[in-house]
Amino acid sequence: MLLDHAIFVIAVATWIAVLGVVVILFVGTARAEGVDVAVRRVATERLAILLLLVAIIVSVASNSVVFIQPQEVGVVSSLLLPGGYRTQQLDSGVHLIFPLVEQVNRFPAYLQNYTVASVADGAPSGSGPIAARTQDGQVVYVEVSMIYSIDRNQVVKIYLDWQDRYVSDLISPLVRGIVRDKVSQFSVDEVNSDRRQELEDEIARALSTDMGAYGFQMKRFLLRNIAFSPEYAAAVEEKQVAFQNVTRDQYRAQQVQILSSAQAAALERLGAALAKNPDVATLNYIEKLAPSITTLLVPSNAPFILPLPTAFSRAGAAPNLTVTPTPFGQATATPTLTSLFPTPVTVGTPERVPTPQPLPTTSP
């Protein structure tokens, strides 16, 4: 557009120069010789005539030269042709047209975005999400975006059919109709599942076919979001919570079952061990004794299980005693506590405790 703008600026400057020369000649001559002479002089002045011709030529050139940008494509409407338009579009570059009888209509050849959503992100929008009904009668609200472009070879057809109204009169109703038609072939659970990609692909194929018939190329279709009615959303959430509760209960039941099986197996192994060696119970009993126990009273016919080194070390003396195990029922002596532990040392004189006196009795 730099060339035609430059020619237009030159044409305006030339007309300003012509007007300036005419005014100067007319005013100067009118003051000196009168208005009639000034008019004749302006009409016959070579400089003024030359500037006028230059201005006319530049103006015609500015309306004859058209520059089409690389991201544009043009359609020429003409009074000279029977159909009123040129059948060949104007691609990017410099072109010549007949001024005053032909006009160039420009169309964008770059990628365009059409969005149907609650917030359209600045793109042309179709006034909110598409309300569509699924196969099982549920209402869903669909938000989509589509990237498309004009087919350069069919721009003349678009000009004849839609002019610059193709977004509101073609793209918007086409997208909404196809989305509703394809959503109606899926149930609400399928729309909310992994079949959503299948739904998106079917919408994209249908849009590509229909838009191609009108001279447009669909480049990419995006299924932005699918919103459900509040009632269905609450039902899905309730179902999901119930499923999570069932899963949690099943997990707990499995844990209890595993623990029970483990305990049963342990008891079975313990029973087998006791059957082979009854002393296993005594060993288990010893292992469960608290480490702080130093004195233990056991029956005379029971084995001696006191940890002697630990007990004697805590008592502060080591006994000179040899313990010889004897069969039950044949022991000749029973160790006493005085033979195992030394007599405690008394420090100082202990305070005497008074002997309690009997209560006086009275005769009846």
Residue-wise pLDDT tens digits, 252-305 = 888 888 888 888 887 777 777 777 777 666 666 666 666 666 555 556 565 555
d(CA 45, CA 28): 13
> Could you give the dihedral angle defined by the CA atoms of residues 329, 334, 340 and 346, in that order, rounded to the nearest 10 degrees?
160
Average pLDDT (175-201) is 91
Least confident window among 30-44, 74-88, 250-264? 30-44
Which region among 90-94, 128-132, 273-277 has the lowest average model confidence (pLDDT)?
A: 273-277
- The residues spanned by each domain of the chain are 2-108, 112-228
Q: Is the pLDDT of residue 209 over 80?
A: yes
* Cβ partners under 8 Å of residue 318, min gap 6: 312
Q: Concatenated DSSP letters for 94-120?
A: EEE--TTTEEEEEEE-S-EEEEESSS-
- Averaged confidence pLDDT in the chain: 77
| Predicted TM-score of the model (pTM) | 0.57
Span 112-228: which CATH code? Answer: 3.30.479.30
| pLDDT for position 334 | 45
